[in-house]
Amino acid sequence: MDRRLERILPKVQKPARYVGGEYNAVMKDKADVDVRFAFCFPDTYEIGMSNLGFRILYGVMNDMPGVWCERVFAPWTDMEAELRGNGIPLFALESGDSVADFDIIGFSVGYEMAYTAMLNMLDLAGLPLRSADRPGLSPLVVAGGTAMYNAEPVADFIDLALIGEGEDQLPELIELYRRAKKEGWDKPRFLRAACRIGGVYVPSLYDVTYHKDGTIAAITPLDGAPERVYKRVVHDMDKSYYPARTIVPSTEIVHDRVTLEVFRGCIRGCRFCQAGYVYRPVRNRSVDQLIQYGQEAVRDSGYQEMTLASLSTSDYPGLVRLCDGLSAFCEDHHVNLSLPSLRADNFSMELMQRLQNGRKAGLTFAPEAGTQRLRDAINKNVTEDELTESLKTAFSGGWNSVKLYFMLGLPTETDEDVLGIAEIAKHAVHTWREYASNKNRGLRITVSTSWFVPKPFTAFQWEAQISREEYERRVKLLREAITAKAVTYNWHDGDTSFLEAILARGDRRLCKVLETAFRKGAKLDAWSDCFDLNRWLEAFAECGLDPAFYANRERSRDEIMPWSVISCYVSDQYLWHQRELAYRSVTTPDCRTQCGGCGASCVEGGECYRG
Amino acid sequence: MGKLRLFFVKEGRAAYISHLDLLRTFQRVFLREGIVLRHSQGFHPHPIISFAMPLPVGQESDCEILDFETNGDIDTAALPARLNSGMPEGIAALACAEPVLPVRELAALSCKVDLLYDSCVPSGAAEKIAALLGGGSVVIQKRTKHKSLADVDIRPMIRDLRLEEAPGVLRLYAVVSAQNPGLNPALLAAAVEKYLPELSPDFVRVRRLAVLDGSGASFR
Ligand code: SF4
Ligand code: SF4
């Protein structure tokens, strides 16, 4: 171990997250390696190691001969201070080598609040933040993940973005890099070639001009860059890589268990949900393969927890067969099988009861809106009756703690909708009184509301986020309407959601705001104890930009969106139509009931659903 | 099968795995090999597995002890190699056998405390430190069982001490009491810092070398 590292580890909290060496961490002989990839997660070890996508791509890359992918996480503030204080550059966990010496530095960016952590990691590596200030081919700085569907706020920092799923695309990029390195290409030449790989977006190859009012006048491709960059997807889940042998951290992380990804995409089409649109279409893994992977992963890892993950696991067609197929094995190996992201319907509840034999962990439902009218408007197809039925089953089955999630500030929301949330909570209390099998333990209902953030590639991408004052008024309205003692009300702090609304639909002029905020100390904004909106407001003022322009402005139908070069195959017409339906509170059937012709079928050769 | 005792090394990167995390890690290592640990009875059954003497985070050891019970029969000679195929880097099982003595008879620890000096070992340091730790009393602050700090004379807990000087490092080879009360070898360095501040090292490395029974023989 590095002697300098040894000196600082005794001074920091949870040092085990900075040393690597975990079971299944991949070590390679540098003599056999010609491309070294520093896979950076712009958040802590505990969060990053809980991310299945990160584990998948780690495995995919390390399966490539001659390629060594190593992990890098954002250090916590105490560790950062030690690193900086002792002049130790950011290093990768496997080899301990400095990140700046790698060929490719790749960020996995799932959420906008991680942007400043990205900048901080580049800075800790001792690298210039801006792509233009890193003239050499290496290290090449790339970024992928859901947030990169709008890469504009980080456009000046990265060399390229990878849009969509990385399983096929990342190896193609690495092969191109390998060739470029061997043949001594310079960076511009490499980038011009890279933009021809499907799903690769090179921001510097697009010129953006603005109108006087700050909206975009035109985005012009340069040097033969494609007019549109289409996301990449894995077509056949059964043929795609699954990390059955994966790193088992030696210290506790957030999701410390076997995660089986049962499918990708979501059939539901909730109109606010970016994941629901950009991950289309739904692609299932087969039951048999999942059973096999589940067993392999438990045997290899020694985990005693397994979870079936997806955007909406109750929608997996083979769910019962899968649970039945796994249950004997799980019982034999004392493995506890859990199902997150369930819908509030009867089927899911029955399944829950069967699985949670004895264990009554808290139940979570996300009706998202307080009235049927608004739930229809956002296409969250859950009825109050379904919710009540689920609660009945839960309470009579012995559960006594329920969490309910809602959003405030959804388009078309009125005070009636806000008060409807309190009504739902009240109903839940009544249902408990009537049906609880065991009243002695008391009831705990938690109502949580977040502040709606309009996201790109959703039906609400044109919407304004409601103003701060209005959001606070609605919180107060709801707080005063929730009277039952058994109900606790939590609301999101507004600062984070406001910044999210700015960054989510930001253009590349935000790069200088980002850099300014970073210089003022923004670096782990995803953590409320490290986040301070004032830094950002100051940065906006210094850069002469108005945050409300990004967060609180309604866009017109013909406005050029900053991300309009990118396509997730779902057409703008479809999204706009969905928005119109929202204003009429008309729902859209799920993809399995009826195809709405969103455009995503293009990736599947024109056909989304086969049985 | 009844009670078993596993001896293992913990060093390098693994030195930073905390006590609780190590417990979890071992449970998984056994499961990787399909070895089912016996569980306690009761409402929240947990596997019967415990460390004889928890090792402070950051210290290394050649002589860690894990006591456990299994349900089935186990080839104890083959066990270390089996477990090692599923270990994190820096942990290595050495031997497994039925325990000879109960943990309460673990009397002493043989250990090595490296005092590192970045420029060079101050002249006369070895003699002064030997005199300090071999002298009358050495009172330093120490955590008691009740987690509060108290002044304790650690001199009676130092049973044997030998110093060795190498470039940039002064090695203290000590035998200290293991329990009732036990001495964390890192406190030998703390004593130097308190009584001989001019000899404060730039860094301290601690490694357990062997566990001993009351007669000074290897604890088994
Ligand atoms: S169910 Fe709705 S909110 Fe959940 S992932 Fe699917 S579309 Fe998004
Ligand atoms: S093409 Fe049809 S079935 Fe496929 S994702 Fe779009 S709406 Fe759903």
Q: Are residues B132 and B70 in the same domain?
A: no
Cβ contact B154:B138 at 8 Å: yes
Residue at A259: amino acid letter: T
How confident is the model at residue A71, as a pLDDT?
98
Q: Are residues A11 and A129 in the same domain?
A: yes
Select from A195, A225, A255 the last residue of a domain.
Answer: A225
In a domain, A531, yes or no: no
- Please compute the mean of the pLDDT values over residues A159-164 and round it to a whole number: 98
Q: Is residue B130 part of a domain?
A: yes
On chain B, the residues whose CB falls within 8 A of the CB of A8 are: none
Of residues B207, B211, B189, B209, the one with CA closest to residue B199: B189
In this predicted model, which residue has the larger pLDDT, A380 or A361?
A: A380
Asked whether the predicted pLDDT for residue A530 surpasses 80, the reply is: yes
Arithmetic mean of pLDDT over chain A: 94
C-alpha to C-alpha distances, A300 to A17, A62, A254, B30, nearest whole angstrom: 21, 18, 20, 11
How many Cβ pairs within 8 Å bridge chains A and B?
65
What token pair was written down for B168? Answer: 């940039």
- Identify which of A19, A248, A301 has the shortest CB distance to residue B16: A19
Question: Is residue B77 located within the same domain as residue B130?
Answer: no
Whether residue A148 is found in the same domain as residue A273: no
In this structure, the answer to whether residues A272 and A195 fall within a common structural domain is: no
Residues of A in contact with B88 (CB under 8 A): 21-23, 248, 250
Closest chain A residue to B22, measured at CA: A250
| Per-position DSSP letters for B15-64, written without gaps between them | GG--HHHHHHHHHHHHHHTTPPBPB--SSS--B-EEESSPPPTT-EEEEE
> Is the predicted pLDDT of residue A611 greater than 50, yes or no?
no
CB contact under 8 A, A302 and B29: yes
- What values do phi and psi take at A415, rounded to 5? -60, -30
Give the pLDDT of residue A363.
81
Q: Is A378 in the pocket of ligand 2 (CB under 6 A)?
A: no
Note the ligand closest to the C-alpha atom of A457.
Answer: 1
Q: Which of B17, B31, B86 sits opposite A16 (nearest CB)?
A: B17
Q: Which residue of chain B comes nearest to A302, CA vs CA?
A: B28
Shared-domain flag, residues B113 and B93 = no
* Each residue's pLDDT tens digit, A304-315: 999 999 999 889
Distance from chain centroid for Cα A269 = 17
Residue A163 within any structural domain of the chain: yes
Q: In chain B, what residues touch A46 (CB-CB under 8 Å)?
A: none
String of DSSP letters for A83-100: HHHTTPPPB-TTT--BGG
* Separation in Å, CA A107 to CA A50, A153, A190, A324: 15, 14, 19, 38
- Shared-domain flag, residues B125 and B27: no
Let me know whether B93 and B165 are in one domain.
no
| B57 vs A: CB within 8 A | yes
A173 and A275 in a single domain? The answer is: no
State if residue A42 touches ligand 2 by the CB under 6 angstroms criterion: no
Task: In whole angstroms, give the CA distance from residue A571 to residue B101.
Answer: 74
Q: In chain B, which residues have their Cβ closer than 8 Å to the Cβ of A333?
A: 31
- Cα–Cα distance between B179 and B199 in angstroms, integer? 28
Tokens 């004593």 identify what position?
A: B191
- Ligand 2 contact, A601 CB (< 6 A): yes
Residue B84, domain member (yes or no): yes
**CB-closest option in A10, A22, A23 to B58:** A10
Q: Which of A225, A260, A284 is the last residue of a domain?
A: A225
Classify residue A105: in a domain, yes or no: yes
B156: preceding bond cis by omega (within 30 degrees): no
Domain shared by A7 and A103, yes or no: yes
Per residue in A384-403, pLDDT (tens digit) is 898 998 888 888 888 888 99
Mean pLDDT of the A19-23 span: 97
> Which residue in chain B has the smallest CA separation from A22?
B88
How much is the average pLDDT of A545-549?
Answer: 97
Is residue A602 in contact with ligand 2, taking CB distance under 6 Å? Answer: no
Kindly report the length of chain A: 611
Cβ distance B88 to A300 less than 8 Å, yes or no, reads no
Say what percent of chain A tops pLDDT 90: 84
- Residue B128: CATH number of its domain: 3.30.2350.10
Question: What is the pLDDT confidence band of residue A219, given thresholds at 50, 70 and 90?
Answer: very high
Domain that holds residue B29: 2-99
Q: Cβ separation of B13 and A19 shorter than 8 Å?
A: yes
Q: Are residues A212 and A256 in the same domain?
A: no
- The Cα of A358 is separated from the nearest Cα of chain B by a number of Å equal to 11
Please, is A278 exposed, middle or buried when counting C-beta atoms within 10 Å of its C-beta (0-12, 13-18, 19+)? Answer: buried
Give B16 to chain A, closest Cα distance, Å: 5
Q: Single out the residue in B69, B99, B129 at which a domain terminates.
A: B99
Phi, psi (rounded to 5 degrees) for A88: -95, 120
B80 with B126, same domain: the answer is no
Q: With contact defined as beta carbons under 8 Å apart, do A490 and A534 qualify?
A: no
Total domains, chain A: 2
Residue B20's contacts (CB-CB under 8 Å, 6 or more residues apart) are none
- Is residue B218 domain-resident? no
- Going by alpha carbons, the residue nearest to atom 5 of ligand 1 is A311
Q: Give the span between the Cα atoms of A370 and A413, in whole angstroms.
A: 9
Q: Would the CB of A609 count as within 6 Å of ligand 2?
A: yes
Protein residue whose Cα sits closest to atom 1 of ligand 2: A601
Question: What is the predicted pLDDT for the residue at B24?
Answer: 94
Residues A162 and A304 both lie in one domain: no
A259 assigned to some structural domain: yes
Among A6, A25, A250, select the one facing B17 at the smallest CB separation.
Answer: A250
pLDDT of residue A578: 98
The secondary structure of chain A in percent helix, strand, coil, rounded to multiples of 5, reads: 40, 15, 45
| pTM greater than 0.90 | yes
- List the residue whose alpha carbon is closest to atom 8 of ligand 2: A591
A582 occurs within a structural domain = yes
| Cα end-to-end distance, chain B, whole Å | 18
To test the contact with chain B by mutation, choose from A1, A5, A7, A23 the residue with the greatest count of B C-beta atoms within 10 A, namely: A23
* 8 Å CB contact of A333 and B31: yes
Of B16, B86, B87, the CB nearest to A16: B16
Q: Could you list the pLDDT tens digit for every one of the 220 residues in chain B? A: 689 999 999 999 999 999 999 999 999 999 999 998 898 887 778 889 999 999 999 999 999 999 999 988 899 999 999 999 999 999 999 999 999 999 999 999 999 999 999 999 999 999 999 999 998 899 998 877 677 888 999 999 999 999 999 999 999 999 999 998 999 999 999 999 999 999 999 999 999 999 999 999 999 9
Please indicate whether residue A367, judged by its CB atom, sits closer than 6 Å to ligand 1: no
Judge if B77 and B148 occupy the same domain: no
Residue A54 to residue A265: CA distance in whole angstroms:
17
CATH code of the domain containing B40:
3.30.70.580
Domain annotation covers residue B220:
no
Strands (DSSP E) along A231-348, which ranges? 258-261, 263-264, 283-284, 305-309, 336-338
CB of A274 sitting under 6 A from ligand 1: no
Residue B187, domain member (yes or no): yes
Residues A66 and A204 in one domain: yes
- Is A522:A532 a contact under the CB 8 Å cutoff? yes
Strand residues in chain B grouped as ranges (E): 3-10, 49-51, 60-69, 91-97, 108-116, 139-143, 149-153, 158-166, 169-177, 203-212
Residue A607: per-residue pLDDT: 61
Number of domains composing chain B: 2
Q: Does B21 touch chain A (CB under 8 A)?
A: yes
The answer to whether residue A286 sits within a structural domain is yes
A221 and A248 belong to one structural domain: no
Q: Which of A29-43, A316-330, A530-544, B5-19 has the lowest mean pLDDT?
A: A316-330
Average pLDDT over residues A90-117: 97
Q: Assess whether B92 and B172 both reside in one domain.
A: no
- Owning domain of residue A259: 237-341+569-611
Q: Are A455 and A504 in contact (CB under 8 A)?
A: yes
Reported ipTM exceeds the 0.95 cut: no
Q: Is the dihedral of CA A159, A164, A170, A173 positive or negative?
A: negative
The contact set of A with B (CB < 8 A) is 1, 6-7, 9-10, 15-16, 18-23, 25, 248, 250-252, 299-304, 333
Q: CA nearest A295 in B: which residue? A: B32
Residues A65 and A137 in one domain: yes
Instruction: Determine the average pLDDT of the residues in A427-451.
Output: 91
Does the beta carbon of B12 lie under 8 angstroms from any beta carbon of chain A?
yes
Among residues A194, A190, A223, which one has the least CA distance to residue A206?
A223
The model's pLDDT over A360-372, given as tens digits with 9 standing for 90+, comes to 567 888 999 999 9
**Domain final residue pick, B99, B130, B159:** B99
Out of A181, A196, A225, pick the residue that ends a domain.
A225
**Are residues B90 and B127 located together in one domain of the fold?**
no
Q: Which tokens hold the place of A201? A: 């977006």
Mean pLDDT of A586-591: 95
**A182-218 tens-digit pLDDT:** 999 999 999 999 999 999 999 999 999 999 999 999 9
Query: Residue of the nearest CA to atom 6 in ligand 2?
Result: A598
- Residues with Cβ < 8 Å from B54, sequence gap 6 or more? B19
Q: Tell me, what's the pLDDT at B91?
A: 98
Question: Does ligand 1 come within 6 angstroms of the Cβ of A269?
Answer: yes
CATH number at residue A585: 3.30.750.210
B122 domain residue, yes or no: yes
Three-state SS across A135-158? CCCCCEEEEECHHHHHCHHHCCCC
A299, A178: one domain: no
Per-residue H/E/C for A186-219 = CHHHHHHHHCCCCCEECHHHEEEEECCCCCEEEE
Say if the Cβ atoms of B32 and A21 lie within 8 Å. no
Residue B16 Cα to ligand 1 midpoint, Å, equals 40
* pLDDT value at residue A347: 67
Question: Do residues B36 and B115 both lie within one domain?
Answer: no
In the predicted model, is pLDDT for residue A359 greater than 70? no
Query: Is the pLDDT at A464 greater than 70, yes or no?
Result: yes
Residue A415, in any domain of the structure: no
Answer yes or no: do B198 and B110 share one domain.
Answer: yes
Residue with tokens 């071992």: B26
What distance in Å separates the CA atoms of residue A144 and residue A160, rounded to the nearest whole number? 9
A202 plus A312 within the same structural domain = no
**Measured between CA atoms, how close is B117 to chain A, in angstroms?**
13
Domain contains A541: no
Residues B55 and B147 in one domain: no
Tell which of B99, B114, B146 closes a domain.
B99
